[in-house]
């Protein structure tokens, strides 16, 4: 049965963003490709971040993985062990969970609206309607259960709702600003994070 996982990554504080991104794209990405049943794998390094009062950056990248969880469990366990060995080399925190929307999409850049409480996606779709966008994807965790990664920090819980707005590199800053302004104008309850990422398809 096909499933999709979304993983929030935060780099080790002693690493530059460039070093984090290069390790993620290279050695770590190569290990992920060995996961049995993997059908798609997209890395989304964060280029703009907003959503914490003190400006602390809690997410440096978002990984999207589509896989068949009926694939060989022994091989999966071996590869997960290799991933767990590699993660502390470049990560401080990892928060991963399965999501409800399995749609595949492939924009150049993405604006993510991530809410600790449910919100109305229409507020953001309307706000970015005048910009060049490539579709809006709504999703939420399937059950809120987080991936277990001993030795790494993780956020206390999965977000309640996630909106992903596909766009182009050229239009991305304007789309990000429009989504950020919509979040501020709506004064939504709970924490709303608005992230801009570039999209790097590995598989």
- Interval 52-101: pLDDT, tens: 666 678 899 999 999 987 777 888 889 999 999 999 999 999 999 999 99
Pairwise CA distance, residues 20 & 26, whole Å: 10
pLDDT at position 119 is 92
What pLDDT band is residue 186 in, cutting at 50, 70 and 90? confident
Q: What is the mean pLDDT of residues 11-23?
A: 97
For residue 147 the two structure tokens come to 């991936």
Q: What contacts 13, CB < 8 A, 6 or more positions away? A: 92
The answer on pLDDT for 191 being more than 80 is yes
Lowest mean pLDDT among 9-18, 47-56, 194-203: 47-56
pLDDT at position 178 is 94
Q: What is the pLDDT of residues 131-182, one digit of tens each?
A: 878 889 999 999 989 999 988 999 999 999 999 999 999 999 999 999 999 9
For residue 33 the two structure tokens come to 């490709």
Tell the burial category of 10 from Cβ atoms under 10 Å away from its Cβ (0-12, 13-18, 19+).
Answer: buried
């Amino acid at each position: 049965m096909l499933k999709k996982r979304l993983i929030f990554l935060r780099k080790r504080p002693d690493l530059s963003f460039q070093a984090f991104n290069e390790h993620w794209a290279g050695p770590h990405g190569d290990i992920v490709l060995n996961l049995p049943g993997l059908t798609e794998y997209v890395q989304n390094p964060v280029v703009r971040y907003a959503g914490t009062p003190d400006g602390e950056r809690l997410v440096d990248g978002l990984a999207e993985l589509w896989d068949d969880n009926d694939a060989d469990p022994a091989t999966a366990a071996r590869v997960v062990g290799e991933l767990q060995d590699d993660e502390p080399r470049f990560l401080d925190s990892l928060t991963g969970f399965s999501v409800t929307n399995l749609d595949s999409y492939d924009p150049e850049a993405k604006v993510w609206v991530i809410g600790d409480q449910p919100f109305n996606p229409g507020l953001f779709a309307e706000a970015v309607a005048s910009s060049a966008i490539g579709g809006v994807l709504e999703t939420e965790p399937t059950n809120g259960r987080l991936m277990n990664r001993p030795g790494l920090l993780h956020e206390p819980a999965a977000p309640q709702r996630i909106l992903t707005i596909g766009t182009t590199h050229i239009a991305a800053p304007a789309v990000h600003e429009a989504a950020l302004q919509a979040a501020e104008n709506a004064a939504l309850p709970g924490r709303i994070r608005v992230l801009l990422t570039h999209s790097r398809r590995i598989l």
